[in-house]
């Protein structure tokens, strides 16, 4: 069973400053490669909680992260009924893909769902519970993202960790030429106050290069 946006301190997680709002009306999220490890067989559980597979008791290993934001059109208005999909490596650096095991570790965390999806409501907000992304050989920490609207896929991109030293030198990150576009795929992973488990929150607003909705 998935997790509702309303159940997670919505006011705190979806707060946004005036400067950022204006930025998003001028700049769209950069398109980046899907990469070779989109799941070649989707897991049985595809909800927005990547830490628990079906009704398992044991959670995935990693630093718990509440990943949230909004999907906006090119005018800055929220996009309703947008399907956002994310996928990423587990804490061992392995994808849920037949060729996605990190050969440095030789194993995959069976308790990590590795893939999730969420359908936005009128607010355009999305929410996932996952782990903070980790590096693996050749790549800086990142989360893969794909957005579909009315059967079309206007955006495939990746999320990165703000301040991560490995961003500089990462081939995909360095495809993003402007500082304004880089800001849209970078986020701080901020400790959640009063969390006894050291949980984090990170927020990325996705701005689609599409005509505003009627």
Residues whose CB is less than 8 angstroms from the CB of residue 51 and which lie 6 or more positions away in sequence, other chains included: 59, 60, 62, 64, 111, 112, 113, 129, 130, 131
Q: Hey, what CATH class is 5-207 in?
A: mainly beta
pLDDT tens string for the chain (214 positions)? 566 665 544 444 444 444 455 544 569 999 999 999 999 999 889 999 999 999 888 999 999 999 999 999 999 999 999 999 999 999 999 999 999 998 788 899 999 999 999 999 999 999 999 999 999 999 999 999 999 999 898 999 999 999 999 999 999 999 999 999 999 999 999 999 998 889 999 999 999 987 655 4
Residues whose CB is less than 8 angstroms from the CB of residue 17 and which lie 6 or more positions away in sequence, other chains included: none
pTM for the structure as a whole:
0.86
Which CA distances in Å does 127 have to 7, 8, 104, 160? 10, 9, 31, 17
What residue segments make up the domains of the chain, in order of their start?
A: 5-207
């Amino acid at each position: 069973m998935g997790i509702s946006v309303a159940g997670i301190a919505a006011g705190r997680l979806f707060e946004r400053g005036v400067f950022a709002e204006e930025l998003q009306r001028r700049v769209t999220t950069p398109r980046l490669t899907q990469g070779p490890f989109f799941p070649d067989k989707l897991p049985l559980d595809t909800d927005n909680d990547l830490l628990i597979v079906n009704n398992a008791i044991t959670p995935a290993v990693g630093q718990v992260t509440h990943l949230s934001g909004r999907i906006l059109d090119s005018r800055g208005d929220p996009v309703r009924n947008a399907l956002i999909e994310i996928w990423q490596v587990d804490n061992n650096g392995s994808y849920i893909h037949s060729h996605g095991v990190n050969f440095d570790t030789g194993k995959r965390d069976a308790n990590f769902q590795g893939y999730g999806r969420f359908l936005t409501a009128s607010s355009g907000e999305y929410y996932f519970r996952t782990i903070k992304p980790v590096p693996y050989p050749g790549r800086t920490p990142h989360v893969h993202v794909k957005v579909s609207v009315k059967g079309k896929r206007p955006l495939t991109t990746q999320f990165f960790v703000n301040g991560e030293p490995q961003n500089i030198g990462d081939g995909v990150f360095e495809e993003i030429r402007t500082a304004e576009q880089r800001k849209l795929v970078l986020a701080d992973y901020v400790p959640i106050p009063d969390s006894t488990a050291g949980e984090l929150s990170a927020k990325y607003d996705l701005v689609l290069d599409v005509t505003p909705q009627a």
